[in-house]
Amino acid sequence: MAFGTVGLKTHIWNNNARSVMLLAAYPFVIAAMVWAVGAAFGYIWEAGVSGDARSSRMAVAMGNGVVLEYWPLILTVVALWFMVAYFFHTRMLRTLSHARPVTRIEEPELYNLVENLCISQGVPMPKLEIIETRARNAFASGIDNKSYTITVTRGLLQSLEKDEVEGVLAHELTHIINRDVRLLIVSIIFTGMIGFIAQLAWSSFRYNLYLGGGRGGRRDGRIMVIVLVVMAILWVGYIATVFTRFALSRRREYMADAGAVEMTKNPDAMMRALLRIAKRDRIPETTDDVALMCTVNSKPFLGLFATHPPIEQRVQIISEVTGTPIPDMRAGERTDDDQRFVTPNEGKPNPWLSRRNKGE
């Protein structure tokens, strides 16, 4: 069994296996939730009619009946969701993160850095996108060579030196090579649909309460209980899938740091990049799913539910493994203006940045 084994090849194999397992488990999770909803409906409805022990038998019969009757519909909905996610996941992430694609003409230095790294590793060039925000971060996305994308924030480019930006890009390219990106996308898709249904049910419930609250009767009381039970089942399913995100190994970040150092041969730059991103990583107006994929995802409240190791720990490990002293600088410190990464937009008004940062 490969899940407990250390090694790059094993890590890639494990990520591919986990992706397949998540995809394979998804229809069964949906079917189990449908069964639970049917059983709850049968139990509550029968208990209200007869008030005897037949409720349990009715619950099981109703749950089985719903799944057996509607399993083709369940599989069809799951298949449709995967088709939508497969063809439109890039557009979904772009919308969630407020990113925009950039061309070689717009960002030649950025393109050259990524292209050189790709040539050195013998991998295809991913697409590039930029988020016009002062936050400092980056992430990789996609599920195959056609959709792999590296997204960076404008704040990252304006606050780091060139070799530090190269380290971050190498980190994200390592995520692509190690198939971490594919696993994360599958995990987010896995969570997304259940979360969407749960929130839709909650919104419908609140809307009905607002419009129809106060109309009582025994029949309405049972319907209300059934609706509450259905929502509870949906939220339990949603929370269960959220925890799959935390089950994803934080080792992937250490391995991506190591991959970046191996690519660039510059551990000092990688440590400086992490320290400059620290405390400046939160991208405004985006979701936790996007933050999950970023180079750094700091979590307040003692790091509870953190999906990334602490910055200090990552820097310490790079220092110990490579024998390189930790840079003498403060977390979040910006590089001097004359040393920072230069972009063609320097000194020019940036309509994207102005628009996206009105709320900051």
Spatial separation of the C-alpha atoms in residues 182 and 148, rounded to whole Å: 9
- Catalytic residue (one of 129, 164, 166, 172): 172
CB 329 within 8 A of CB 97: no
Spatial separation of the C-alpha atoms in residues 132 and 348, rounded to whole Å: 14
Say if residue 243 is exposed, middle or buried (CB neighbours under 10 Å; 0-12, 13-18, 19+). Answer: exposed
CB 251 within 8 A of CB 173: no
Spatial separation of the C-alpha atoms in residues 348 and 360, rounded to whole Å: 20
- Residue 348, Ramachandran bin (φ over 0: left; ψ between -120 and 50: alpha; else beta): beta
Instruction: Check if 253 is active-site.
Output: no
Helix (H) or strand (E) holding 155: helix 154-159
Spatial separation of the C-alpha atoms in residues 227 and 233, rounded to whole Å: 10
Catalytic residue positions? Answer: 172
